[in-house]
Amino acid sequence: MVWSVLLLLVSFGIIPDRSFAQALSSALGATKLDGLKNFSECQNQVLGHREHLIGDRLEAKLAISTALKPEEHDIWAAQIRALQQVTASRPYKAPDEKNSQRYFLGLTNDEQVAINSRHTRFTQEVNLACEKKYGSMTRYSPNADHSGQARYEQELHDNMQTPIDISTIEVAPLPGPYPKLRAQMQEERRATQQASRQAVAQTMSSCTDGAKGLRMSIMADKMQQARQYEGTFGQRARRFRSRYKSYARCRRQKT
C-alpha cells in the first residue's frame, strides 16, 4: 500500500519535503526509496512514444503529398517536428496553440486505431519490464514470498494486446492542414450518400436484368419442352391412325 502511494506521488510530480523523505527513509530504508525512483523513471520510457508514432506516420504521408501548397507543407512539417521532439523531459508543444491537435486531421480512423494499439502494447511491455526489475517491495526482503509478484507479472504478460501493423494500411497524401467547414463536411457527406445510392441502384438494376434473362431462359425452355411434347403426341396419333386403318382393312377382308 505504501509503495502504491509513493508511486502515485512521484508519478504526479508531488515531491515530499525533506522531513517526510527522511521519515520514509527511516521507515523503509534508502534502498527502497531508490527502488521507487528507479521504477518511476523506468515507466517514463513510454512518454513521447505515441507522439513519435504519429509524427513518423505523418512524415511518411507528407513525403507523397505533392498537391500541398508550400505554406501548407510548412505547417505539416512544423507539426511533425513538434511531435518527434517529445521526450520524457520535453512535453509536446503545439506549433499552433489555437489548433493543438491538428495532427488528427492527417490521420484516418484506421491509422489512429493502429497507432493506439501499438502504443498500448509498448506501454504494457515497458510496465512488465519495470515490474520485473523494480516492482514489489518484497524484492528487498530476501526471505519474503515472491510468488505473488511472479503471478502478477505472468498476468501482465498474458494480457498483452496484439498491436495492429500500421504498414498494412495504405499511405495516402495529407489533406490541407485546416479544419473543414461545416458546409464542406455536409457536401462531402451528401456526395458519399449519393454515390452509395447510385451503387445500390446499379446493383439492383443488374440483379433485375439478370432476373429478366433467367425468366426468358425458363420460358424458352418451357416452350421447347412443349414443342417436343406436341411433336411426340403427333407421332403417337399418326401411329394410332395407321394401326386403326390396318385393323379396319383386316376386319373388312374377314367379312
pLDDT tens for 202-247 read: 777 776 666 666 777 777 777 777 666 656 656 666 666 666 666 5
Nearest-Å Rg of the Cα atoms of the chain is 40
pLDDT tens-digit series, residues 10-20: 444 444 444 44
Which range, of 5-9, 17-21, 49-53, 215-219, averages the lowest pLDDT? 17-21
At 8 the pLDDT is: 47
Asked if residue 128 lies in contact with residue 39, where contact means CB atoms within 8 angstroms, the answer is: no
Q: Enumerate the H helices of the chain as residue ranges.
A: 2-11, 18-28, 30-43, 49-62, 70-84, 109-134, 147-158, 182-254
CA–CA distance, 104 with 175 (Å, rounded to integer): 11
Between residues 214 and 87, which one has the greater pLDDT? 87
At 226 the pLDDT is: 66
pLDDT tens-digit series, residues 122-170: 999 999 999 998 887 666 677 778 788 889 999 999 999 999 999 999 9
CA–CA distance, 78 with 175 (Å, rounded to integer): 15
**Secondary structure class of 176 (helix, strand, coil):** coil
At 202 the pLDDT is: 79
Residues 6+ apart with CB under 8 A from 176: 68, 72
At 196 the pLDDT is: 79
Is the pLDDT at 80 greater than 50? The verdict is: yes
Q: For the chain, what are the domain ranges?
A: 2-42, 47-140+147-179
Predicted TM-score of the model (pTM): 0.60
How confident is the model over 169-176, as a mean pLDDT? 95
Asked if residue 58 lies in contact with residue 104, where contact means CB atoms within 8 angstroms, the answer is: no
How confident is the model over 83-105, as a mean pLDDT? 94
Phi first, then psi, for residue 34 (nearest 5°) are -65, -40
Report for 97-106, 177-186, 192-201, 236-245: range of highest mean pLDDT: 97-106
